[in-house]
C-alpha cells in the first residue's frame, strides 16, 4: 500500500470560517519537506502560507488555485512518501472540468463536480457562450486540428472549451502549465487582451435588431461603455470590507460630530522627538491614538459596542487603526492603548502597519478592537466622515493639518488646525457623549504634555 498523507485545510482562527486558495507554491511531482510552505490561502483579512505536514513528493492536488469558500478539513492535496514515489508511477494532475450546466448551477456560485470537489468555471459572457455549438466542443475534445490551430496542442479540457467558446485557437495561446500545457489562466490572460467582440463576417446574414432597454417610465437606460475595460476580481479582504460597510450604512443609525483642534503644540512635540530620535519618532497618528485612549478613559461610555441588542462597555481601549494595503483596508489593533506610553504606541503601530502591508498579520492582531481611527490627513483630506466599523460604536476621522487664521485673545494669528470628525452609532451613544469624547480628544492634542504623565 502506498504511504500517502492527505493535506487538509487546518483551522486558522476561530473567526475564520472559510478561505480562498490563492496560489500553489509546489506542483505535482515536486519534493516537499516538513514545515516548508506549499500553498498560500487568503482569509478575509490576510494571506497565510500553509506548511507541509510531512516530507515527501506532491502526488496529487485536489483543489485548484482560485477556489473560494474552502472550509476547515477540506483535502487540498496528497503527499506521498519519497520511497513510495520512487517505485510508483507519478499521478497525473487532476483535471478541473465543469460538470454542471447553466441550468443546474446558480450564476455566481462556484461550480462543483459530482464528487463535490470545487472546479473551475469559465467567465465568458453569455453572448459568447451562445456561439459555440456542441459540434464545435466535441471537435475540440477530439483534438480537431481545425480548432486547435493545426497542431495537437496540450491543454486542459476546460482550457479547450474556453478556447472554442471564445472563437480562438490553441495555437494563439502560450501555455504556462507543466510541459507548456495551456491552462484556464492562460486563456484568461489571452481573453483579457480583447476589448470588443469581433465584427461579423461580411457574408453573414444579419440578425434581428436588438430591442433597446427601457426603464419603468419608458426612458432609455444607457448600456455599458463600448470603450476598453477590464473587470477586477475582489480579494477576500475587499469583499468582506464591502459587505460590512454596506451592512453598517444600512443598519447602523449614524450621526456625525466635527471639531477643530489647534495642532501647533502637537507638531512641536513631534518635531522635537524626531530631532532626538529620528528612527523611533512617533507620528501624528500615534499621538491621536494616545489622545483617543485617554479620552476613552475619561468618557468610558464611548468605549462600547452594540452586541445582540445590548450595549457592551469595555474596560480597556483597544484602538484599531485603518491601514490601506494592496489587498484592501484592514485595521490592526493597539491593545490596551490607554496603558501604554507614546513611545510604546509608536513602536507597536510601526510594526503592525508593516505586517499589514506585507499581508502577515495574525488574526489576533486585527480581530476585535473597541474604537477605530482613520487618518487621511497625509493625503490632504481636510475632513473625513468615516463609516462605523460594527459592532464598535465610534470611529474617528482625522484630517490634514492646515494653516489658517486663528483668534488668540484679541489677536489674529496664523495657526495649525486639524479637523477631527466622529461618526457614531446612535443606538449606543448620543450626541452629548460624542461631544464629550471629541472635547477630551481635543484637550489632549492641544496640550500633549497631559499625555506624558
Largest CA distance in the chain: 93
Please count the other Cβ atoms lying within 10 Å of the Cβ belonging to residue 192: 10
Of the candidates 365, 359, 329, the one whose C-alpha atom is nearest the C-alpha of residue 242 is 329
Those residues whose C-beta lies under 8 Å from the C-beta of residue 106, and which sit 6 or more positions away, are: none
Of the candidates 325, 384, 387, 388, the one whose C-alpha atom is nearest the C-alpha of residue 353 is 325
DSSP labels, 196-208: SPPPPPTTSPP-P
413's grid cell: 494669528
Distance separating alpha carbons of residues 320 and 388, to the nearest angstrom: 12
Task: Exactly one of 106, 230, 276, 426 is catalytic; name it.
Answer: 426
Of the candidates 412, 286, 291, the one whose C-alpha atom is nearest the C-alpha of residue 352 is 286
Beta strands per DSSP E along 282-321: 304-307, 310-313, 319-321
Of the candidates 96, 150, 103, the one whose C-alpha atom is nearest the C-alpha of residue 129 is 103
10's grid cell: 487546518
61's grid cell: 492536488
62 labelled catalytic: no
Distance separating alpha carbons of residues 176 and 269, to the nearest angstrom: 56
DSSP labels, 142-167: TT-HHHHTSS---B-HHHHHHHHHHT
Q: Find the radius of gyration of the CA atoms of the chain.
A: 29
Show which residues are catalytic.
426
Amino acid at each position: 500500500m502506498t504511504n500517502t498523507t492527505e493535506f487538509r485545510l487546518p483551522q486558522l482562527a476561530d473567526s475564520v470560517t472559510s478561505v480562498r486558495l490563492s496560489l500553489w507554491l509546489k506542483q505535482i511531482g515536486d519534493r516537499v519537506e516538513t514545515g516548508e510552505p506549499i500553498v498560500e490561502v487568503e482569509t478575509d483579512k490576510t494571506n497565510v502560507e500553509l506548511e507541509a505536514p510531512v516530507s515527501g513528493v506532491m502526488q496529487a492536488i485536489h483543489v485548484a488555485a482560485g477556489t473560494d469558500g474552502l472550509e476547515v478539513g477540506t483535502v487540498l492535496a496528497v503527499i506521498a512518501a519519497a520511497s513510495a514515489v520512487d517505485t510508483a508511477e507519478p499521478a497525473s494532475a487532476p483535471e478541473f472540468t465543469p460538470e454542471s450546466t447553466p441550468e443546474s448551477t446558480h450564476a455566481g456560485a462556484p461550480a462543483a463536480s459530482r464528487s463535490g470537489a470545487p472546479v473551475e468555471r469559465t467567465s465568458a459572457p453569455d453572448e459568447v457562450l451562445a456561439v459555440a455549438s456542441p459540434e464545435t466542443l466535441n471537435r475540440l475534445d477530439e483534438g480537431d486540428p481545425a480548432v486547435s490551430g493545426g497542431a495537437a496542442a496540450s491543454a486542459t479540457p476546460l482550457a479547450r472549451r474556453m478556447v472554442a467558446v471564445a472563437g480562438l485557437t490553441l495555437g494563439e495561446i502560450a501555455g504556462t502549465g507543466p510541459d507548456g500545457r495551456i491552462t484556464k489562466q492562460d486563456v484568461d490572460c489571452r481573453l483579457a487582451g480583447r476589448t470588443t467582440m469581433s465584427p461579423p463576417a461580411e457574408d453573414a446574414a444579419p440578425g434581428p435588431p436588438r430591442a433597446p432597454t427601457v426603464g419603468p417610465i419608458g426612458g432609455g437606460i444607457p448600456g455599458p461603455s463600448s470603450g476598453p475595460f477590464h473587470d477586477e476580481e475582489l480579494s477576500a479582504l475587499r469583499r468582506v470590507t464591502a459587505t460590512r460597510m454596506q451592512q453598517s450604512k444600512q443598519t447602523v443609525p449614524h450621526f456625525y460630530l466635527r471639531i477643530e483642534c489647534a495642532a501647533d503644540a502637537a507638531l512641536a512635540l513631534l518635531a522635537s522627538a524626531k530631532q532626538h530620535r529620528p528612527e523611533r519618532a512617533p507620528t501624528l497618528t500615534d499621538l491621536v491614538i494616545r489622545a483617543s485612549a485617554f479620552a476613552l478613559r475619561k468618557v468610558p461610555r464611548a468605549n462600547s459596542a452594540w452586541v445582540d441588542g445590548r450595549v457592551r462597555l469595555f474596560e480597556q481601549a483597544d484602538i484599531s487603526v485603518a491601514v490601506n494595503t494592496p489587498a484592501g483596508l484592514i485595521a490592526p489593533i493597539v491593545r490596551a492603548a490607554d496603558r501604554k506610553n507614546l513611545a510604546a504606541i509608536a513602536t507597536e503601530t510601526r510594526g503592525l502597519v508593516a505586517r499589514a502591508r506585507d499581508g502577515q498579520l495574525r488574526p489576533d492582531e486585527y480581530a476585535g478592537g473597541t474604537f477605530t481611527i482613520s487618518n487621511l490627513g497625509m493625503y490632504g483630506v481636510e475632513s473625513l466622515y468615516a463609516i462605523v466599523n460594527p459592532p464598535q460604536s465610534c470611529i474617528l476621522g482625522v484630517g490634514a493639518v492646515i494653516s489658517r487664521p486663528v483668534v488668540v485673545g484679541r489677536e489674529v494669528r496664523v495657526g495649525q488646525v486639524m479637523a477631527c470628525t466622529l461618526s457614531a452609532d446612535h443606538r449606543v451613544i448620543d450626541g452629548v457623549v460624542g461631544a464629550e469624547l471629541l472635547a477630551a480628544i481635543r484637550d489632549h492634542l492641544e496640550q500633549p504634555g497631559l499625555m506624558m504623565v
